[in-house]
Amino acid sequence: EPEVTQTPSHQVTQMGQEVILRCVPISNHLYFYWYRQILGQKVEFLVSFYNNEISEKSEIFDDQFSVERPDGSNFTLKIRSTKLEDSAMYFCASGGVIRETQYFGPGTRLLVL
Amino acid sequence: KNEVEQSPQNLTAQEGEFITINCSYSVGISALHWLQQHPGGGIVSLFMLSSGKKKHGRLIATINIQEKHSSLHITASHPRDSAVYICAVRSAGAGSYQLTFGKGTKLSVIP
């Protein structure tokens, strides 16, 4: 069964460093999402992406964040200058023709020191 | 902004018990999702529903749009059902597909 994959599974970085989180959505999907979950808290929406542009973003998704679909298969989330509070699990999700259904990846656990 | 509340926060059950997890929301929705989060953190989508009832194996999800309430039932619970169950909603309104999540219900099923 097709699945969403994410790399790396864990990443440790120093405050102020740039990180890129990678996702490979299900191949024929059109809609892509990033969510995050700070330890012990709710999952929160960050951004959605369709037709090579951002379709929605939350207040969390400020200028430090960017998303890209560089090659038609990967979907990346870049954090330009990480802060301690960016430590969280980041989930990618993708959706197909039935946009309501979202398939989640296993997550990347980011730790900023 | 939609507020999503789940109850209970924590639930311990004996193997074989019937389990109910509740979700209520404050604003009309287009769709409601039930998700399962494993101890390692990964999220699996269980159901997406906008009306009525859906069943998959031992899992049943119901929604009452008028009461803004949904329930997830697990019949004949098993230790492998131990996980966090999360309710998430898409608020009604043109063009917005972002999900708002509840805090989750942590279920532990004891053999």
**Residue A36 contacts residue A108 (beta carbons within 8 Å):** no
User: What is the mean pLDDT of the segment spanning A8-28?
Assistant: 96
**How many residues are listed for chain A in this entry?**
113
How many CA atoms, within 13 angstroms, populate the side-chain half-sphere of residue A102? 28
Of A31, A44, A100, the CB nearest to B90: A100
Q: For A21-75, what is each residue's pLDDT tens digit? A: 999 999 889 899 999 999 999 999 999 998 889 999 999 999 999 999 988 789 9
The predicted structure's pLDDT at residue B40: 80
Q: Which positions in chain B touch A107 (Cβ < 8 Å)?
A: 41-43
Who among A37, A100, A105 is closest to B48 (CB)? A100
pLDDT at B36: 95
pLDDT of residue B94: 60
CB spacing of A103 vs B48 below 8 angstroms: no
The pLDDT of residue A98 is 67
- Write out pLDDT tens, residues A78-100: 999 999 999 999 999 998 766 67
DSSP A74: -
Please report, for residues A16, B24, B25, B29, the alpha-carbon distance to residue A75 in angstroms, rounded to integers and kept in the order given.
22, 33, 31, 28
**Residues on chain A touching B97 (C-beta within 8 angstroms):** 31, 48, 55-56, 95, 99-100
| CB-nearest partner of B101 from A42, A89, A107 | A42
CB of A55 within 8 Å of a chain B CB? The answer is yes
Which tens digit of pLDDT belongs to each residue from B50-90?
A: 999 999 999 999 999 999 999 999 999 999 999 999 999 98
Interface contact flag, A107 B44, Cβ < 8 Å: no
CA separation for the pair B35, B104 (Å, rounded)? 9
The contacts of residue B20 (CB under 8 Å, 6+ apart) are B71, B72, B73
